[in-house]
Protein backbone atom coordinates (compact mmCIF):
# COMPACT_ATOMS: atom_id res chain seq x y z
CA UNK A 1 0.00 0.00 0.00
CA UNK A 2 2.74 2.59 0.84
CA UNK A 3 4.44 1.87 -2.51
CA UNK A 4 1.16 2.49 -4.38
CA UNK A 5 0.65 5.78 -2.55
CA UNK A 6 4.24 6.76 -3.33
CA UNK A 7 3.69 6.03 -7.03
CA UNK A 8 0.45 8.07 -7.01
CA UNK A 9 2.25 11.03 -5.41
CA UNK A 10 5.06 10.81 -7.97
CA UNK A 11 2.48 10.68 -10.77
CA UNK A 12 0.66 13.74 -9.38
CA UNK A 13 3.93 15.65 -9.13
CA UNK A 14 4.82 14.70 -12.70
CA UNK A 15 1.45 15.94 -13.95
CA UNK A 16 1.88 19.18 -12.02
CA UNK A 17 5.34 19.80 -13.50
CA UNK A 18 3.97 19.09 -16.97
CA UNK A 19 1.20 21.64 -16.35
CA UNK A 20 3.78 24.23 -15.23
CA UNK A 21 5.85 23.52 -18.34
CA UNK A 22 2.83 24.01 -20.60
CA UNK A 23 2.00 27.30 -18.86
CA UNK A 24 5.57 28.58 -19.28
CA UNK A 25 5.61 27.56 -22.95
CA UNK A 26 2.34 29.40 -23.55
CA UNK A 27 3.73 32.56 -21.92
CA UNK A 28 6.88 32.32 -24.07
CA UNK A 29 4.71 31.82 -27.15
CA UNK A 30 2.68 34.93 -26.32
CA UNK A 31 5.84 36.99 -25.81
CA UNK A 32 7.30 35.59 -29.04
CA UNK A 33 4.09 36.31 -30.96
CA UNK A 34 4.11 40.00 -30.06
CA UNK A 35 7.13 42.17 -30.77
CA UNK A 36 9.27 42.96 -27.73
CA UNK A 37 9.62 46.61 -28.72
CA UNK A 38 5.88 47.28 -28.87
CA UNK A 39 5.37 45.41 -25.57
CA UNK A 40 8.06 47.48 -23.80
CA UNK A 41 6.63 50.70 -25.24
CA UNK A 42 3.23 49.73 -23.86
CA UNK A 43 4.79 49.27 -20.41
CA UNK A 44 5.84 52.93 -20.36
CA UNK A 45 2.22 53.91 -21.05
CA UNK A 46 0.79 52.51 -17.81
CA UNK A 47 -1.12 55.02 -15.71
CA UNK A 48 -0.34 53.84 -12.18
CA UNK A 49 -3.29 55.72 -10.68
CA UNK A 50 -5.83 53.69 -12.67
CA UNK A 51 -3.86 50.50 -12.01
CA UNK A 52 -4.07 51.25 -8.27
CA UNK A 53 -7.86 51.66 -8.61
CA UNK A 54 -7.98 48.27 -10.35
CA UNK A 55 -6.05 46.68 -7.49
CA UNK A 56 -8.39 48.35 -4.97
CA UNK A 57 -11.47 46.93 -6.70
CA UNK A 58 -10.01 43.43 -6.64
CA UNK A 59 -9.12 43.85 -2.94
CA UNK A 60 -12.68 44.96 -2.12
CA UNK A 61 -13.98 41.91 -3.97
CA UNK A 62 -11.86 39.75 -1.66
CA UNK A 63 -13.28 41.54 1.39
CA UNK A 64 -16.78 40.64 0.18
CA UNK A 65 -15.75 37.00 -0.26
CA UNK A 66 -14.38 36.99 3.30
CA UNK A 67 -17.63 38.46 4.68
CA UNK A 68 -19.54 35.73 2.83
CA UNK A 69 -17.26 32.96 4.11
CA UNK A 70 -17.52 34.24 7.68
CA UNK A 71 -21.31 34.33 7.48
CA UNK A 72 -21.51 30.79 6.09
CA UNK A 73 -19.13 29.51 8.80
CA UNK A 74 -21.32 31.15 11.46
CA UNK A 75 -24.38 29.47 9.93
CA UNK A 76 -22.57 26.13 10.26
CA UNK A 77 -21.98 26.89 13.95
CA UNK A 78 -18.34 27.95 13.57
CA UNK A 79 -17.74 31.46 14.85
CA UNK A 80 -14.42 33.15 14.14
CA UNK A 81 -13.10 36.70 14.04
CA UNK A 82 -13.02 38.52 10.73
CA UNK A 83 -9.22 38.98 10.86
CA UNK A 84 -8.61 35.23 11.07
CA UNK A 85 -11.01 34.50 8.22
CA UNK A 86 -9.25 37.27 6.26
CA UNK A 87 -5.81 35.66 6.55
CA UNK A 88 -7.19 32.18 5.86
CA UNK A 89 -9.00 33.37 2.72
CA UNK A 90 -6.04 35.33 1.38
CA UNK A 91 -3.67 32.38 1.87
CA UNK A 92 -6.03 30.22 -0.18
CA UNK A 93 -6.26 32.90 -2.86
CA UNK A 94 -2.48 33.15 -3.39
CA UNK A 95 -2.25 29.37 -3.74
CA UNK A 96 -5.19 29.38 -6.15
CA UNK A 97 -3.17 31.67 -8.43
CA UNK A 98 -0.67 28.86 -9.01
CA UNK A 99 -2.71 25.63 -8.91
CA UNK A 100 -4.82 23.83 -11.57
CA UNK A 101 -8.55 24.56 -11.37
CA UNK A 102 -7.54 27.13 -8.71
CA UNK A 103 -7.83 24.20 -6.29
CA UNK A 104 -5.26 25.79 -3.97
CA UNK A 105 -8.08 27.82 -2.46
CA UNK A 106 -9.00 24.75 -0.42
CA UNK A 107 -5.94 25.54 1.69
CA UNK A 108 -8.28 28.09 3.29
CA UNK A 109 -9.93 25.21 5.16
CA UNK A 110 -6.54 24.17 6.56
CA UNK A 111 -5.77 27.77 7.59
CA UNK A 112 -9.16 27.98 9.33
CA UNK A 113 -8.37 24.69 11.07
CA UNK A 114 -5.31 26.35 12.61
CA UNK A 115 -7.76 28.64 14.44
CA UNK A 116 -9.98 25.83 15.68
CA UNK A 117 -12.47 25.43 12.81
CA UNK A 118 -13.00 21.71 11.99
CA UNK A 119 -11.68 20.78 8.53
CA UNK A 120 -15.05 19.35 7.51
CA UNK A 121 -16.87 22.61 8.37
CA UNK A 122 -14.25 24.75 6.61
CA UNK A 123 -14.34 22.58 3.49
CA UNK A 124 -18.17 22.58 3.45
CA UNK A 125 -18.29 26.39 3.72
CA UNK A 126 -15.76 26.81 0.91
CA UNK A 127 -17.32 24.21 -1.39
CA UNK A 128 -20.89 25.44 -1.05
CA UNK A 129 -20.07 29.11 -1.63
CA UNK A 130 -17.66 28.27 -4.46
CA UNK A 131 -20.32 26.31 -6.31
CA UNK A 132 -22.89 29.11 -5.98
CA UNK A 133 -20.28 31.63 -7.12
CA UNK A 134 -19.26 29.51 -10.10
CA UNK A 135 -22.87 29.05 -11.20
CA UNK A 136 -23.42 32.82 -11.00
CA UNK A 137 -20.24 33.42 -13.00
CA UNK A 138 -21.23 30.93 -15.70
CA UNK A 139 -24.70 32.47 -15.95
CA UNK A 140 -23.31 36.01 -16.29
CA UNK A 141 -20.74 34.77 -18.81
CA UNK A 142 -23.56 33.31 -20.92
CA UNK A 143 -25.52 36.56 -20.75
CA UNK A 144 -22.29 38.26 -21.72
CA UNK A 145 -21.93 36.03 -24.77
CA UNK A 146 -25.42 37.00 -25.90
CA UNK A 147 -24.63 40.68 -25.31
CA UNK A 148 -21.32 40.47 -27.19
CA UNK A 149 -22.96 38.58 -30.04
CA UNK A 150 -25.54 41.33 -30.43
CA UNK A 151 -23.09 44.22 -30.10
CA UNK A 152 -19.69 43.03 -31.32
CA UNK A 153 -19.39 39.52 -32.70
CA UNK A 154 -20.05 38.26 -36.19
CA UNK A 155 -23.30 36.37 -36.98
CA UNK A 156 -21.04 33.41 -37.83
CA UNK A 157 -20.50 32.96 -34.06
CA UNK A 158 -24.11 31.83 -33.58
CA UNK A 159 -23.14 28.14 -33.40
CA UNK A 160 -20.61 28.80 -30.63
CA UNK A 161 -23.19 30.88 -28.79
CA UNK A 162 -25.84 28.14 -28.96
CA UNK A 163 -23.33 25.52 -27.77
CA UNK A 164 -22.35 27.73 -24.83
CA UNK A 165 -26.00 28.22 -23.82
CA UNK A 166 -26.64 24.47 -24.04
CA UNK A 167 -23.54 23.81 -21.91
CA UNK A 168 -24.77 26.23 -19.24
CA UNK A 169 -28.20 24.58 -19.20
CA UNK A 170 -26.53 21.18 -18.75
CA UNK A 171 -24.32 22.48 -15.90
CA UNK A 172 -27.25 24.11 -14.09
CA UNK A 173 -29.38 20.97 -14.51
CA UNK A 174 -26.57 18.77 -13.16
CA UNK A 175 -26.16 21.06 -10.16
CA UNK A 176 -29.85 20.94 -9.26
CA UNK A 177 -29.81 17.14 -9.61
CA UNK A 178 -26.90 17.05 -7.14
CA UNK A 179 -28.58 19.61 -4.87
CA UNK A 180 -31.88 17.68 -4.77
CA UNK A 181 -30.96 14.09 -5.70
CA UNK A 182 -33.67 11.50 -6.19
CA UNK A 183 -33.44 8.06 -4.58
CA UNK A 184 -32.08 6.61 -7.82
CA UNK A 185 -29.40 9.31 -8.07
CA UNK A 186 -28.38 8.78 -4.43
CA UNK A 187 -28.06 5.03 -5.00
CA UNK A 188 -25.86 5.65 -8.04
CA UNK A 189 -23.72 8.30 -6.31
CA UNK A 190 -22.95 6.07 -3.31
CA UNK A 191 -20.91 3.74 -5.54
CA UNK A 192 -17.54 5.52 -5.43
CA UNK A 193 -15.50 8.05 -3.49
CA UNK A 194 -15.72 10.79 -6.13
CA UNK A 195 -19.48 10.35 -6.47
CA UNK A 196 -19.85 10.41 -2.68
CA UNK A 197 -17.93 13.70 -2.60
CA UNK A 198 -20.36 15.08 -5.19
CA UNK A 199 -23.22 14.12 -2.85
CA UNK A 200 -21.46 15.95 -0.01
CA UNK A 201 -21.23 19.07 -2.19
CA UNK A 202 -24.98 18.85 -2.76
CA UNK A 203 -25.62 18.49 0.97
CA UNK A 204 -23.38 21.51 1.68
CA UNK A 205 -25.41 23.51 -0.84
CA UNK A 206 -28.68 22.49 0.82
CA UNK A 207 -27.34 23.39 4.27
CA UNK A 208 -26.85 27.02 3.28
CA UNK A 209 -29.59 27.44 0.68
CA UNK A 210 -31.56 29.88 2.85
CA UNK A 211 -28.45 32.14 2.61
CA UNK A 212 -28.80 32.12 -1.17
CA UNK A 213 -30.08 35.75 -1.40
CA UNK A 214 -27.10 36.92 0.67
CA UNK A 215 -24.62 34.85 -1.37
CA UNK A 216 -26.18 36.02 -4.64
CA UNK A 217 -25.93 39.66 -3.51
CA UNK A 218 -22.24 39.24 -2.67
CA UNK A 219 -21.62 37.56 -6.04
CA UNK A 220 -23.44 40.37 -7.85
CA UNK A 221 -21.45 43.14 -6.13
CA UNK A 222 -18.27 41.12 -6.70
CA UNK A 223 -19.08 40.94 -10.42
CA UNK A 224 -19.42 44.74 -10.48
CA UNK A 225 -16.07 45.16 -8.73
CA UNK A 226 -14.30 42.73 -11.09
CA UNK A 227 -15.81 44.59 -14.04
CA UNK A 228 -14.47 47.86 -12.62
CA UNK A 229 -11.09 46.19 -12.16
CA UNK A 230 -10.99 45.39 -15.89
CA UNK A 231 -12.29 48.84 -16.79
CA UNK A 232 -9.56 50.56 -14.76
CA UNK A 233 -6.84 48.31 -16.19
CA UNK A 234 -8.03 49.34 -19.65
CA UNK A 235 -7.90 53.00 -18.62
CA UNK A 236 -4.41 52.49 -17.19
CA UNK A 237 -3.31 51.48 -20.72
CA UNK A 238 -5.13 54.45 -22.27
CA UNK A 239 -7.71 52.46 -24.15
CA UNK A 240 -11.44 52.50 -23.54
CA UNK A 241 -13.84 49.64 -24.21
CA UNK A 242 -16.41 50.43 -26.89
CA UNK A 243 -18.96 50.27 -24.07
CA UNK A 244 -18.31 50.11 -20.35
CA UNK A 245 -20.53 47.00 -20.32
CA UNK A 246 -17.87 45.19 -22.35
CA UNK A 247 -15.57 45.10 -19.33
CA UNK A 248 -18.34 43.74 -17.07
CA UNK A 249 -19.24 40.90 -19.44
CA UNK A 250 -15.75 40.08 -20.68
CA UNK A 251 -14.41 39.68 -17.13
CA UNK A 252 -16.50 36.61 -16.08
CA UNK A 253 -16.36 35.16 -19.61
CA UNK A 254 -12.60 35.26 -20.13
CA UNK A 255 -11.58 34.48 -16.53
CA UNK A 256 -13.42 31.15 -16.87
CA UNK A 257 -10.43 30.08 -18.99
CA UNK A 258 -8.34 30.14 -15.79
CA UNK A 259 -10.28 27.02 -14.69
CA UNK A 260 -8.99 24.93 -17.61
CA UNK A 261 -6.72 22.44 -15.78
CA UNK A 262 -4.14 22.20 -18.58
CA UNK A 263 -1.94 24.69 -16.67
CA UNK A 264 -1.87 26.02 -13.06
CA UNK A 265 -4.72 28.56 -12.75
CA UNK A 266 -4.96 28.61 -16.54
CA UNK A 267 -1.64 30.48 -16.86
CA UNK A 268 -1.11 31.21 -20.52
CA UNK A 269 -4.58 29.97 -21.46
CA UNK A 270 -6.49 32.91 -19.94
CA UNK A 271 -3.92 35.34 -21.43
CA UNK A 272 -4.28 33.71 -24.87
CA UNK A 273 -8.07 33.96 -24.65
CA UNK A 274 -7.88 37.68 -23.73
CA UNK A 275 -5.43 38.43 -26.56
CA UNK A 276 -7.51 36.48 -29.07
CA UNK A 277 -10.78 38.10 -28.10
CA UNK A 278 -9.34 41.61 -27.89
CA UNK A 279 -7.88 41.15 -31.35
CA UNK A 280 -11.42 40.53 -32.63
CA UNK A 281 -12.47 43.97 -31.35
CA UNK A 282 -9.44 45.71 -32.84
CA UNK A 283 -7.06 46.07 -29.85
CA UNK A 284 -3.35 45.59 -30.81
CA UNK A 285 -1.76 42.32 -29.69
CA UNK A 286 0.95 43.99 -27.56
CA UNK A 287 -1.64 46.06 -25.71
CA UNK A 288 -3.90 43.01 -25.29
CA UNK A 289 -1.00 40.97 -23.87
CA UNK A 290 -0.09 43.70 -21.41
CA UNK A 291 -3.74 43.96 -20.35
CA UNK A 292 -3.84 40.19 -19.74
CA UNK A 293 -0.63 40.27 -17.68
CA UNK A 294 -1.87 43.26 -15.65
CA UNK A 295 -5.10 41.40 -14.85
CA UNK A 296 -3.20 38.45 -13.46
CA UNK A 297 -0.53 40.67 -11.89
CA UNK A 298 -3.09 42.78 -10.01
CA UNK A 299 -4.59 39.60 -8.56
CA UNK A 300 -1.24 38.18 -7.48
CA UNK A 301 -0.23 41.51 -5.89
CA UNK A 302 -3.34 41.51 -3.69
CA UNK A 303 -3.42 37.77 -3.00
CA UNK A 304 0.23 37.74 -1.93
CA UNK A 305 -0.95 39.38 1.32
CA UNK A 306 -2.00 35.86 2.31
CA UNK A 307 1.60 34.61 2.34
CA UNK A 308 1.77 35.71 5.99
CA UNK A 309 -0.61 32.94 6.97
CA UNK A 310 1.83 30.21 5.91
CA UNK A 311 4.01 31.12 8.89
CA UNK A 312 1.27 31.00 11.52
CA UNK A 313 0.98 28.04 13.87
CA UNK A 314 -1.96 25.83 14.71
CA UNK A 315 -3.76 27.20 17.77
CA UNK A 316 -3.86 24.74 20.66
CA UNK A 317 -5.64 25.31 23.96
CA UNK A 318 -2.42 24.31 25.73
CA UNK A 319 -0.59 27.18 24.01
CA UNK A 320 -3.20 29.66 25.23
CA UNK A 321 -2.99 28.33 28.78
CA UNK A 322 0.80 28.57 28.69
CA UNK A 323 0.52 32.14 27.46
CA UNK A 324 -1.83 33.14 30.29
CA UNK A 325 0.45 31.49 32.86
CA UNK A 326 3.22 33.92 31.89
CA UNK A 327 1.22 36.99 32.93
CA UNK A 328 2.31 38.71 36.13
CA UNK A 329 0.18 38.34 39.24
CA UNK A 330 -0.59 42.05 39.70
CA UNK A 331 -1.39 42.70 36.05
CA UNK A 332 -4.99 43.82 36.69
CA UNK A 333 -4.09 45.82 39.77
CA UNK A 334 -1.54 47.76 37.74
CA UNK A 335 -4.06 48.39 34.98
CA UNK A 336 -6.84 49.49 37.37
CA UNK A 337 -4.57 52.06 39.05
CA UNK A 338 -2.25 52.70 36.13
CA UNK A 339 -0.42 55.95 35.52
CA UNK A 340 -1.36 55.43 31.88
CA UNK A 341 -4.77 57.05 31.57
CA UNK A 342 -6.11 54.70 28.89
CA UNK A 343 -5.55 51.59 31.04
CA UNK A 344 -7.05 53.15 34.17
CA UNK A 345 -10.00 54.62 32.26
CA UNK A 346 -10.91 51.38 30.48
CA UNK A 347 -10.68 49.16 33.56
CA UNK A 348 -12.45 51.49 35.97
CA UNK A 349 -15.32 52.43 33.68
CA UNK A 350 -15.95 48.80 32.75
CA UNK A 351 -16.00 47.80 36.44
CA UNK A 352 -18.32 50.69 37.31
CA UNK A 353 -20.76 49.53 34.62
CA UNK A 354 -20.78 46.02 36.11
CA UNK A 355 -21.40 47.52 39.56
CA UNK A 356 -24.33 49.48 38.17
CA UNK A 357 -26.03 46.29 36.96
CA UNK A 358 -25.47 44.52 40.29
CA UNK A 359 -26.06 47.39 42.75
CA UNK A 360 -29.45 46.01 43.81
CA UNK A 361 -28.22 42.41 44.09
CA UNK A 362 -27.38 40.90 47.45
CA UNK A 363 -26.06 37.49 46.43
CA UNK A 364 -25.17 34.76 48.88
CA UNK A 365 -22.52 33.59 46.39
CA UNK A 366 -20.84 35.66 43.68
CA UNK A 367 -18.56 33.94 41.14
CA UNK A 368 -16.02 35.92 39.08
CA UNK A 369 -14.90 33.81 36.11
CA UNK A 370 -11.46 34.93 34.99
CA UNK A 371 -10.99 37.03 38.12
CA UNK A 372 -7.37 37.99 37.42
CA UNK A 373 -5.76 39.87 40.28
CA UNK A 374 -9.07 40.09 42.18
CA UNK A 375 -9.49 43.85 41.66
CA UNK A 376 -12.98 43.47 40.24
CA UNK A 377 -14.16 41.30 43.13
CA UNK A 378 -12.83 43.87 45.60
CA UNK A 379 -14.85 46.63 43.94
CA UNK A 380 -18.01 44.54 43.61
CA UNK A 381 -17.96 43.49 47.25
CA UNK A 382 -18.65 47.10 48.16
CA UNK A 383 -22.16 46.81 46.68
CA UNK A 384 -22.98 43.08 46.78
CA UNK A 385 -21.57 41.57 50.00
CA UNK A 386 -21.91 37.81 50.58
CA UNK A 387 -19.38 35.11 49.72
CA UNK A 388 -17.19 35.70 46.67
CA UNK A 389 -15.31 33.15 44.59
CA UNK A 390 -12.63 34.18 42.14
CA UNK A 391 -11.64 31.69 39.46
CA UNK A 392 -8.76 31.85 36.99
CA UNK A 393 -6.35 29.57 35.10
CA UNK A 394 -3.31 31.73 35.93
CA UNK A 395 -1.53 30.67 39.16
CA UNK A 396 0.36 33.98 39.35
CA UNK A 397 -2.76 36.17 39.54
CA UNK A 398 -4.42 33.82 42.03
CA UNK A 399 -1.35 33.94 44.27
CA UNK A 400 -1.45 37.74 44.19
CA UNK A 401 -5.22 37.88 44.74
CA UNK A 402 -4.97 35.66 47.83
CA UNK A 403 -2.26 37.93 49.24
CA UNK A 404 -4.79 40.82 49.31
CA UNK A 405 -6.79 38.98 52.02
CA UNK A 406 -10.22 40.05 50.79
CA UNK A 407 -12.95 39.20 53.37
CA UNK A 408 -15.34 36.31 52.61
CA UNK A 409 -13.45 35.57 49.39
CA UNK A 410 -11.82 32.42 48.06
CA UNK A 411 -9.73 32.03 44.90
CA UNK A 412 -9.45 28.75 42.99
CA UNK A 413 -7.64 27.63 39.86
CA UNK A 414 -9.95 26.11 37.26
CA UNK A 415 -10.71 25.79 33.57
CA UNK A 416 -13.74 27.89 32.59
CA UNK A 417 -14.94 25.07 30.32
CA UNK A 418 -15.48 22.85 33.39
CA UNK A 419 -16.45 24.87 36.46
CA UNK A 420 -15.85 22.95 39.73
CA UNK A 421 -19.11 24.32 41.14
CA UNK A 422 -22.33 22.49 42.05
CA UNK A 423 -25.31 22.99 39.74
CA UNK A 424 -27.75 25.77 40.70
CA UNK A 425 -25.54 27.03 43.52
CA UNK A 426 -24.45 30.54 42.47
CA UNK A 427 -26.58 33.69 42.65
CA UNK A 428 -24.42 36.08 40.59
CA UNK A 429 -21.76 35.40 37.93
CA UNK A 430 -19.42 37.98 36.44
CA UNK A 431 -17.38 37.15 33.35
CA UNK A 432 -15.43 40.20 32.16
CA UNK A 433 -13.34 40.06 28.97
CA UNK A 434 -13.04 36.26 28.97
CA UNK A 435 -15.41 34.79 26.41
CA UNK A 436 -13.50 36.25 23.43
CA UNK A 437 -10.37 34.31 24.48
CA UNK A 438 -12.00 30.87 24.35
CA UNK A 439 -11.73 28.43 21.43
CA UNK A 440 -15.05 26.88 22.54
CA UNK A 441 -17.07 29.63 24.28
CA UNK A 442 -20.29 27.60 24.17
CA UNK A 443 -18.85 25.21 26.78
CA UNK A 444 -18.42 28.07 29.24
CA UNK A 445 -21.88 29.46 28.48
CA UNK A 446 -23.38 26.03 29.16
CA UNK A 447 -21.48 25.88 32.46
CA UNK A 448 -22.75 29.32 33.47
CA UNK A 449 -26.30 28.17 32.79
CA UNK A 450 -25.68 25.01 34.84
CA UNK A 451 -24.25 26.58 38.03
CA UNK A 452 -26.55 29.62 38.12
CA UNK A 453 -29.53 29.45 40.47
CA UNK A 454 -33.06 30.11 39.19
CA UNK A 455 -33.42 33.87 39.39
CA UNK A 456 -29.64 34.21 39.27
CA UNK A 457 -27.89 36.98 37.36
CA UNK A 458 -24.92 37.05 34.99
CA UNK A 459 -22.94 39.98 33.61
CA UNK A 460 -20.64 39.41 30.63
CA UNK A 461 -18.37 42.00 29.07
CA UNK A 462 -16.68 41.41 25.73
CA UNK A 463 -15.56 43.29 22.61
CA UNK A 464 -18.39 44.28 20.28
CA UNK A 465 -18.08 42.72 16.83
CA UNK A 466 -20.26 45.52 15.41
CA UNK A 467 -17.72 48.21 16.24
CA UNK A 468 -14.27 49.54 15.43
CA UNK A 469 -12.68 47.34 18.10
CA UNK A 470 -10.08 46.08 15.60
CA UNK A 471 -8.67 49.61 15.26
CA UNK A 472 -8.64 50.06 19.03
CA UNK A 473 -6.97 46.68 19.48
CA UNK A 474 -4.23 47.62 17.01
CA UNK A 475 -3.34 50.78 18.93
CA UNK A 476 -3.65 48.99 22.25
CA UNK A 477 -1.25 46.24 21.16
CA UNK A 478 1.24 48.82 19.86
CA UNK A 479 1.02 51.36 22.70
CA UNK A 480 -0.51 49.52 25.62
CA UNK A 481 0.32 46.47 27.70
CA UNK A 482 -1.80 43.94 25.81
CA UNK A 483 0.67 43.03 23.11
CA UNK A 484 -0.92 39.61 22.48
CA UNK A 485 -4.55 40.72 22.38
CA UNK A 486 -4.66 40.48 18.60
CA UNK A 487 -3.55 36.85 18.77
CA UNK A 488 -5.60 35.67 21.76
CA UNK A 489 -8.90 37.39 20.94
CA UNK A 490 -10.39 34.50 18.99
CA UNK A 491 -14.13 35.10 18.71
CA UNK A 492 -16.11 38.33 18.91
CA UNK A 493 -19.84 38.57 19.60
CA UNK A 494 -22.70 40.90 18.86
CA UNK A 495 -25.44 41.83 21.31
CA UNK A 496 -27.91 39.78 19.30
CA UNK A 497 -25.72 36.67 19.52
CA UNK A 498 -25.41 36.96 23.29
CA UNK A 499 -29.17 37.41 23.56
CA UNK A 500 -29.60 34.22 21.52
CA UNK A 501 -27.35 32.25 23.88
CA UNK A 502 -29.45 33.41 26.86
CA UNK A 503 -32.80 33.16 25.10
CA UNK A 504 -34.26 30.96 27.85
CA UNK A 505 -33.52 33.57 30.56
CA UNK A 506 -36.37 35.75 31.81
CA UNK A 507 -34.52 39.06 31.35
CA UNK A 508 -31.78 40.22 29.01
CA UNK A 509 -30.44 43.74 28.60
CA UNK A 510 -27.25 45.29 27.35
CA UNK A 511 -25.42 48.43 26.39
CA UNK A 512 -22.17 49.24 24.69
CA UNK A 513 -19.48 51.54 26.01
CA UNK A 514 -16.50 53.34 24.51
CA UNK A 515 -16.15 54.36 20.89
CA UNK A 516 -13.15 56.59 20.34
CA UNK A 517 -12.61 57.69 23.94
CA UNK A 518 -9.91 55.01 24.60
CA UNK A 519 -7.96 56.48 21.69
CA UNK A 520 -8.43 59.97 23.15
CA UNK A 521 -7.18 58.59 26.48
CA UNK A 522 -3.89 57.65 24.82
CA UNK A 523 -3.00 61.35 25.02
CA UNK A 524 -2.99 60.92 28.84
CA UNK A 525 -4.94 64.16 29.28
CA UNK A 526 -8.27 64.34 31.15
CA UNK A 527 -9.54 67.34 29.15
CA UNK A 528 -9.05 65.48 25.86
CA UNK A 529 -10.59 62.33 27.37
CA UNK A 530 -13.67 64.29 28.49
CA UNK A 531 -14.11 65.48 24.90
CA UNK A 532 -13.85 61.87 23.71
CA UNK A 533 -16.45 60.69 26.22
CA UNK A 534 -18.94 63.31 25.05
CA UNK A 535 -18.25 62.24 21.48
CA UNK A 536 -18.84 58.60 22.48
CA UNK A 537 -22.34 59.07 23.84
CA UNK A 538 -23.99 59.28 20.42
CA UNK A 539 -22.43 56.03 19.21
CA UNK A 540 -23.04 54.23 22.50
CA UNK A 541 -26.76 55.04 22.25
CA UNK A 542 -26.79 53.29 18.86
CA UNK A 543 -24.97 50.17 20.09
CA UNK A 544 -21.67 50.98 18.37
CA UNK A 545 -19.47 51.10 21.46
CA UNK A 546 -16.46 48.80 21.27
CA UNK A 547 -17.31 46.89 24.47
CA UNK A 548 -20.56 45.11 25.31
CA UNK A 549 -21.94 45.03 28.87
CA UNK A 550 -24.49 42.20 28.77
CA UNK A 551 -26.85 41.36 31.65
CA UNK A 552 -29.20 38.38 31.93
CA UNK A 553 -31.42 37.07 34.72
CA UNK A 554 -32.36 33.40 34.80
* 34-48, 179-193, 381-395, 472-486: segment of lowest average pLDDT: 472-486
Per-residue pLDDT band for 201 (boundaries 50, 70, 90) equals low
**Which residue blocks in 261-386 are alpha helix, DSSP H?**
269-280, 285-303, 317-325, 331-336, 341-358, 375-384
Query: Tell me: the pLDDT tens digits for 79-117?
Result: 888 989 999 999 999 999 999 989 899 999 999 998 888
Average pLDDT in the 398-418 region? 91
**Percent of all residues in the chain with a pLDDT value above 90, rounded to a whole number:** 36
Query: Tell me: the pLDDT tens digits for 440-471?
Result: 898 999 999 999 999 999 999 999 998 888 87
Q: What is the pLDDT of residue 481?
A: 52
Query: How does DSSP classify residue 209?
Result: G
Q: What is the pLDDT of residue 236?
A: 93
Q: What is the pLDDT of residue 35?
A: 65
Q: What is the pLDDT of residue 195?
A: 63
* 138-147, 364-373, 385-394, 446-455: segment of lowest average pLDDT: 138-147
Structure-model confidence comparison of residues 479 and 296, the more confident one: 296
| Pairwise CA distance, residues 321 & 324, whole Å | 5
| Pairwise CA distance, residues 449 & 493, whole Å | 18
Per-residue pLDDT band for 189 (boundaries 50, 70, 90) equals low
Please name each of the domains of the chain with its CATH number: 49-311 (no CATH), 320-553 (3.40.50.150)
Q: With beta carbons less than 8 A apart as the criterion, state whether 398 and 468 touch.
A: no
* 191-205, 292-306, 379-393, 485-499: segment of lowest average pLDDT: 191-205
Q: What is the pLDDT of residue 284?
A: 83
pLDDT of residue 46 exceeding 70 = yes
Query: How does DSSP classify residue 314?
Result: P
| Pairwise CA distance, residues 293 & 303, whole Å | 15
- Where are any strands of DSSP class E within 184-336? none
- Give the SS3 label for residue 210: helix
| Pairwise CA distance, residues 363 & 427, whole Å | 5
Global pTM reads 0.85
- Judge residue 6's burial from the number of C-beta atoms within 10 Å of its C-beta, 0-12 exposed, 13-18 middle, 19 or more buried: exposed
Query: Tell me: the pLDDT tens digits for 5-20?
Result: 555 667 677 787 888 8
Per-residue pLDDT band for 381 (boundaries 50, 70, 90) equals confident
Helix-then-strand count for the chain, H and E: 24, 7
**Percent of all residues in the chain with a pLDDT value above 70, rounded to a whole number:** 86
Average pLDDT in the 256-273 region? 90
> How many Cβ atoms are within 10 Å of 29's Cβ, its own excluded?
12
pLDDT of residue 523 exceeding 80 = yes
Q: How far is CA 479 from the centre of its chain?
A: 26
* 129-133, 175-179, 211-215, 276-280: segment of lowest average pLDDT: 175-179
Q: With beta carbons less than 8 A apart as the criterion, state whether 101 and 181 touch.
A: no
pLDDT of residue 209 exceeding 90 = no
pLDDT of residue 3 exceeding 70 = no
- Give the SS3 label for residue 35: coil
Q: CA angle 465-299-107, nearest 5°?
A: 60
| Pairwise CA distance, residues 432 & 450, whole Å | 19
Query: Tell me: the pLDDT tens digits for 98-107?
Result: 999 898 999 9
Q: With beta carbons less than 8 A apart as the criterion, state whether 388 and 377 touch.
A: yes
Q: What is the pLDDT of residue 224?
A: 96
Q: With beta carbons less than 8 A apart as the criterion, state whether 126 and 69 touch.
A: yes
Per-residue pLDDT band for 1 (boundaries 50, 70, 90) equals very low
Please state, rounded to an integer, the average pLDDT across all residues of the chain: 85
Amino acid sequence: MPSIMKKNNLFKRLIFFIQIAIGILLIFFILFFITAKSFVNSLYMINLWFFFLAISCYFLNNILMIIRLKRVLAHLGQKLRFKFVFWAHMSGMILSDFTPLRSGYFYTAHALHKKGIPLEAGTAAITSTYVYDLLFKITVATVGLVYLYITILSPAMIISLVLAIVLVIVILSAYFIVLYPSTTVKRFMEGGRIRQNVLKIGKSGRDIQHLFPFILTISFIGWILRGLQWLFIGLSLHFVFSSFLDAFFLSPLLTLFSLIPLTPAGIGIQESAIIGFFSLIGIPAALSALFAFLVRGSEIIVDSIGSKEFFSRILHREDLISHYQTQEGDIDEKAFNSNILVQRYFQQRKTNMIRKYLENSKPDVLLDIGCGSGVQLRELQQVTGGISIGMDINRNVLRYARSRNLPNTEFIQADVHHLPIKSSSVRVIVCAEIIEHLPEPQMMLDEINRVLKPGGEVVITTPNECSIWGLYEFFWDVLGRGRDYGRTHLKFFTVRELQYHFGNFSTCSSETIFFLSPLFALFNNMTILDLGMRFDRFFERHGLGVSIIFYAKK
